[in-house]
Amino acid sequence: MSSLMSGENHKLKQLSSNNSSSSATSSSSSSTTKIQSSDSSSISNNNNNKLETNLKREAEIDSKDCVKQKKLLKLSSEDNSSTIGNIGVKCLAASLKKQATNTEQQQQNSIHNSNGSVENGSFSDSTTMNRQANNNQDEHQIDESLYSRQLYVLGHDAMKRMAKSSVLIAGIGGLGVEIAKNIILGGVKEVTLHDNKLADYYDLSSQYYLSESNIGKNRAEQSLIHLSELNPHVKVNMHQGSLIDESFLKNFAVIVLTDSSLEEQLSVGEIAREKGISLIVAQSRGLFGQIFCDFGNNFTIYDTNGENPISVLISGITKEKAGVVACVEDTRHGFEDGDVVRFSEVKGMTEINGKEFKIKVTGPCQFSISDTTGFSDYLNGGVVTQVKQPKIINFKPLKESILAPDYLDSFSDRPQQEHLFFQALDRFQNQNNRLPRSWNQEDADTFYELLVGLVNERQVEPSSINENLAKIFAKQSRGNLAPVNSFIGGAAAQEVMKACTGKFTPIYQWFYYDAFECLPTEADKLPKESDAQPIKCRYDGQNAVFGQQFQQKLCDLRYFLVGAGAIGCEHLKHFAMIGAGTSERGKIVVTDMDIIEKSNLNRQFLFRPKDVGGFKSKIAAIATKAMNPQINVIAHENRVGVETEKYYDDDFFEALDGVANALDNLEARTYMDRKCVYYRIPLLESGTLGTKGNVQIVIPYLTESYSSSQDPPEKSIPICTLKNFPNAIEHTLQWARDEFEGLFKQAPEQAYLYLTDPKFIERTSKLNGNQPIEIGESVKKVLAERPTSFLDCVKWARLYFEQQFNHQIQQLLFNFPPDYTTTTGAPFWSGPKKCPHPINFDPSNSLHLDFVMSAANLRAYLYNIPQCPKREEILKLVTSLPASEIPKFKPKQNVKIAVNDSELSMMDSNQYDAGDRFKSILAELPTLDELKSVKINPIDFEKDDDNNYHMDFIVATSNLRAENYEIAPADRHKSKLIAGRIIPAIATTTALISGLVFIELYKLVQGFKTLDPFMNSFVNLALPFFGFSTPTSCQTLKYYDNSFTIWDRFELNQDMTLQEFIDYFRNEHRLDITMISQGNVLLYSFFLNKEKREERMPLKMTEVLKRVSKKRIEPYVKSLVFEICCNDDNGEDVEVPYVRYVLNNEPMDISK
């Protein structure tokens, strides 16, 4: 069969994280990446932690300033932008070139286990800091509509702690403004900007809140208004006095230094240590970056990785000195030695419920705990849940750590070298009062001499220093690159949040990054000093690294940006800063059909509250133009797909230099991937999931495509589990969402079509299986049982409650009583099957009334009946219903309930004449004339509107179902995450990932011809982990002696008949065509009957396509893609490329 991009592979991976207490390994077929974390030992609860100190200091400051008390931040909850099944992150772990890890600290007792415990994001009262934070929870109400996506990354407790933290950022250049932007969006209490430097042209290549009109003015002052607009809940100040002032510095929980000398870092670091303030140093020099963290002694990490605690069902616990726990049906538990777990819902051995145990893994499906001989015998059931344990880290102060550094990346010698590079550069600046001149050999030699002196002082082996690398570091150190600043700034901002909240593992203590591979390896291709001189233009900072000739290539770029959401906004920022699309030739086209919502403002930083309701692409383009007036950016509001190919046709794609995806769904991603392969243009693909993110680069003729590799299929919930045998809150939430869709959307939509579409009956009667009957019944239910008043809606909701949460459960127990046994004599209600109990309606129970209120109001909306938001009125209505109108349960003798999905499919296969039955159902309805005044409003689920009753229905329905089965309920926040299929998101990851994308764009513009310089990336800021790998090369296939890849194809530039087409491949390529298709249209096959074959053979290929598809070929289509199946001379099926069949149409003018 011909090789063409399938587009069916699921590319968005749900990324696993590493919460190992010792070490874990992530491996692929070609390489292994180690993620290390530190060993633990215990200390007493009397240890003061850094967060407690910070909070005490903030409380003292606030108690003296009542004005500040009135300005306490209100933060909000976070939601996910789409399901993990629809948007996630792709990780290519093969051939990792660069590796990063949670470093194992070298000194003993640097990390300890705390006696406090953490579970599901809530902390035990044993920690003073948590008691203190919880005292003010009601004061600091979180603005959940703004922070809806971020809340699912950090959680409410961490957000509230962050809302009490004041942060100082010193140095508001490109890196400083990036850090400030990210933490202001994140929702700290207060940010103070400090900068005594004046803006110059070097700043403009990265500092997006400065322009030519700001040259010579204070950078912080000019940026203040822009940063203040990012988040109304965060107070942004400016300070221009002395930085090294103890009375000033003591007011902050975290101090961030950028653009600072080592002397200044040491002075501030000493004060920070003395006052219990966290210190972060972040610097970037061209393609190189540095982060240092010092959070003091006894810093508490409450959640090392941010992952949900593992929870598994168990099937047995032995009674012995080390009781062995077995998981149900050989389920892999995923625990590690030393994990702490808590038991619940255990029958028989009830003494174990609520207790915590440290475990020892004895196998993938079992583990041992402590002595269980004194407990009762285990009967059945039980859930075991991981209990996260806080850790305490001791940081070394800067003055010590700089001499005895601990690196995040300890697998190569590059960090050790770069640690010395930055110190030698500081010495150069002190001696010369400037940085080395760009690509100046004399200054590079001077720098290297200083470096050698430093190496001798530190007694470092001289041979460990790469002289060429060192001198290139110096030559490009004046550079100021927006992508590098986004990477370092995103990572540093996440460290600020860790310091404020104790959420996630901090960098310990030095992290170095470089994109050295962006430069050519050949010395004669490196920039010349004359080409890198400052010319007082906004790209001077970029020219200092790459030279002016390279800059012209950037200006000439033509790129298509698909998506203007979180990543899209960051991409537009980078396009503006690097100067892409700013020449007469260049342009950036961005398309996005979405409109701006309030929840977008937390991470889509180009938008402001006044923009809510506007098109993302249009507003983003205006904001981009404000950053760089030279950029030619064109905004579209189109969805990419077959329906918009009249806009995005051959002429459009053939004029592009590449595509950057910023999408949130698989369908659009794979569509754009196919387009890029077809038009042979590069694709920059990326995605984020909370603190995780990835970048994949697709390069013509070199790499595989986005769709080339296939993820494992996502684990789905069996239908029978959802219908009758749920055992987890995820099951009840999915069931509730299905109920919502069936009651308020799918059935009403069918009824709406029945009323409005004349061909509905004809079309539905032709459907397969029992579908016509199911649709007919749903239409009948919607139209024949119409309410006429809100009281009718309340009655329906009450009866629905009785049916779902009482009668159906009683019927299930009638079929399978609690003591029911299987044919083998085993208890039926055991393992994953939890025996349910019916619920009796109680109007005084708030959950029961929640259900009636939400269900009744949704039904009222469906039928255009005025809703009732008054809870007391609904209570009166539901209690006024006579008991005689609530039917008593009567068991049905002949009802069969499927125990598994195979039984269910057998039951569904018992069909009868579905078409006739469908028509008879509709005949029972009133006539269409009688129904012409009926209006139906199908309801699309919207999770983010708290006043539409959608989530109220989901939460109440799920938790009632959970109560039926004794499953722990979920609050609204968790319910929205799961039922709304939300992907957690945070600005720090988005900025960092976009920076990595544009670092790859630099390489594309360099024109590198091999894979070696390019990097696919995977990061997890929570761990923290940074992984880089060479992209996978495209697979080579062969027919006869002809090799080809997905980038190759047959080209036919003349119009042929079908017979000529077949003869051409037989004569020219020795291939016998057995099938020809275009899209989903089969044009020819070996099994085609003789009459049709003879009819089609003399026709032109275009005419065959028109007749078979019964569609015309649009005038904007310049070529067709034919996929062919072929046999070789031996009659064997062979894989061959697809065919590009060029037409002779005149192209349309769609330049607008």
Which residues are designated catalytic? 720
Q: Which amino acid is at 573?
A: K
Q: Is 966 exposed, middle or buried (0-12, 13-18, 19+ CB in 10 A)?
A: middle
Whether the CA torsion 352, 354, 357, 362 is positive or negative: it is positive
Distances in whole angstroms, Cα of residue 760 to Cα of each of 153, 627, 743, 757, 764: 45, 52, 20, 5, 6
Q: What's the half-sphere exposure (Cβ side, CA atoms, 13 Å) at 77?
A: 16
Residue 1007 CA, distance from chain mean position: 31
Q: Which amino acid is at 317?
A: I
C-alpha torsion 697→703→705→709, nearest 10: -100
**Can you tell me the distance from the alpha carbon of 1111 to that of 1092, in angstroms, rounded to the nearest whole number?**
18
**Can you tell me the distance from the alpha carbon of 1123 to that of 1139, in angstroms, rounded to the nearest whole number?**
6
Report, in angstroms and rounded to the nearest whole number, the Rg of the chain calculated over CA atoms. 33
**Can you tell me the distance from the alpha carbon of 418 to that of 896, in angstroms, rounded to the nearest whole number?**
71
Q: How many CB atoms lie within 10 A of CB 458?
A: 13
* Cβ–Cβ < 8 Å for 257, 282: yes
- Edge to edge, the sheet with strand 360-363 lists 356-358, 340-344, 383-387, 311-317, 324-327, 366-368, 360-363
* Cβ–Cβ < 8 Å for 408, 101: yes
Task: Record the tokens describing residue 339, joined without a space.
Answer: 């994990």
121-141 in b/e form (b: 16+ CB < 10 A) is: bebeeebbbbebbeebeeebe
C-alpha torsion 140→146→152→153, nearest 10: -90
**Can you tell me the distance from the alpha carbon of 537 to that of 543, in angstroms, rounded to the nearest whole number?**
10
Q: Which residues pair with 3 in a beta bridge?
A: 1137
For residue 883, give every residue at least 6 positions away whose Cβ sits within 8 Å of its Cβ, in sequence order, or none: none
Q: How many CB atoms lie within 10 A of CB 739?
A: 18
Cis amide bond preceding 509, omega within 30: yes
Q: Which amino acid is at 1110?
A: K
* Cβ–Cβ < 8 Å for 373, 319: yes
Nearest alpha-carbon partner for 212 in 639, 501, 836, 628:
628
H or E element in which residue 1027 lies: strand 1025-1029
Task: Record the tokens describing residue 1040, joined without a space.
Answer: 């006869």
- Which residue has 């010193």 as its token pair? 170
Distances in whole angstroms, Cα of residue 282 to Cα of each of 155, 505, 993: 26, 18, 18
**Can you tell me the distance from the alpha carbon of 78 to that of 609, in angstroms, rounded to the nearest whole number?**
17
Where are the extended beta strands (E) located within 350-390? 356-358, 360-363, 366-368, 383-387
For residue 817, give every residue at least 6 positions away whose Cβ sits within 8 Å of its Cβ, in sequence order, or none: none
- Which residue has 């849940």 as its token pair? 385
C-alpha torsion 886→891→894→899, nearest 10: 100
Q: What are phi and psi of 340, to 5 degrees?
A: -105, 130
